[in-house]
Amino acid sequence: MLAGEGGAAGDESSGWALEDDPAAVVAGAGAEVVVLDSLLTGRAQNLAHLKGVGTRFGEKLAAAGITDIAPADGAFYVYAHVPHLTTGLGLDSLQLTSRWLHELGVAATSGIDFDLARGHEYVRFSYAGSRADLIEACDLLAAWTP
């Protein structure tokens, strides 16, 4: 979620690189499989913390007014409905995410990229980063004044 931070699969800053052929990683059946399993487990834990009531991530997102979160049924993303931060402030989600990036260094994706009709009120966050980065991003969002 933090701009300029690494940590995604295939990103050298995460400490490992995804092979050109992902099947080769699994076929190698060595440390790569352990690393991949560890990354997937970490992402699942991050999602549980982001959406969990009473968790630090959940509390921080709630403190930022981000409580209407769609079920995460696929990749490592949280899709959130934030009309109070968009249309409620005279912004669309592209303007909002641009402000977050420039003012806080927090990267999110505008919902416009995923839904032309309603996406102006939605943002998408990746939870594929480190837990420390997620906590920092949540802290920044919670403290942000529009």
Digit-coded pLDDT (tens) for 15-30: 434 444 445 444 554 4
Q: What is the mean pLDDT of the chain?
A: 73
Mean pLDDT along residues 2-20: 45
* Residue 124 phi, psi (nearest 5): -125, 130
- 60, 131 in Cβ contact below 8 A? no
- Among the listed ranges 19-28, 37-46, 66-75, which one has the minimum average pLDDT value? 19-28
pLDDT bin (cut points 50, 70, 90) of residue 9 is very low
Position 85 scores a pLDDT of 94
pTM here is 0.64
What is the set of domains in the chain, with CATH numbers? 12-143 (3.40.640.10)
Which of residues 14 and 28 earns the better pLDDT score? 28
Mean pLDDT along residues 126-138: 84
- Among the listed ranges 4-13, 24-33, 77-86, 93-102, which one has the minimum average pLDDT value? 4-13
Distance CA 79, CA 81 (A): 7
